[in-house]
Amino acid sequence: MRLLADAGHTVLAPDLPGHGGSERHRGDHSLGAHASTLRDLLQVLDLPRVTVVGHSLGGGIAMVFTYQFPERVERLALIDSGGLGREVSGLIRAATLPGAEWVIRAATTPPILRTAGALGGALARVGIKPGGDLAAIAGGVASLGDGERRAAFVRSARSIASVNGQRVSASERLYLTEQVPVLLIWGDRDPVIPIAHGHAAHAALPASRLEIFPGAGHFPMLDDPERFAALVTDWVATTTPAAHDGNRLAAVMRGRGIRS
């Protein structure tokens, strides 16, 4: 975010309700609810249109935001995004099972976290440094020691996935973004969401731009932040913001057989 801001962009990175440093939230944690929250934020900040960049769950939210509020989207960037295929990490599927809250609670007790921290320190002392995935996931798991934040995570997971994989897919609606500049970025060693989803989305949107980060996992922006910021900056500079046309969009939807 600092690199993008230094390049002249105004960067907004809101925590979702129930996540990060935001207030605890016991309500709706679906993709649509999160997208509406982002719309409300832009309304309060008096920002009519933005370039939306979403990672993982945020990618799914970004696509729903684009679907619900197309007039507010200039460009869409999806980073190792959810919502583009069924396959997903077993850890995400496990979080949707009955009793997942109790398992996560047990895994985030102070003794367990201290043991994990000591192991990470021992690996660092012998020259083995955790990658971006391990550091980011470890930080996320540690935050789930809070009961309400843990419940928010489980509700979010259950809104998009089941034990059989992702239940929510934007694949049949990608054509609605044909007039929106789309950037796809993926780590070729992503253990959470396979890179095949990025290739499939790129094939469905021939005008999109696909960038692969060799050796990167689920968090390519952490594995190579300089390249990530440079790509986003170049993409913004070399693309024309989408011009929303409600009549054209309606005609496209009718052409695909969608009726009200």
Dist CA 201 CA 203 (whole Å): 5
Supply the residues annotated as catalytic. 56, 190, 218
The neighbouring-strand residues paired with 185 are 79, 211
Q: Are 31 and 41 in contact (CB under 8 A)?
A: no
Dist CA 256 CA 259 (whole Å): 9
Distances from the Cα of 193 to the Cα of 12, 65, 80, 142, angstroms: 25, 21, 7, 21
Q: Phi and psi (nearest 5°) for 76? A: -135, 120
Dist CA 114 CA 201 (whole Å): 41
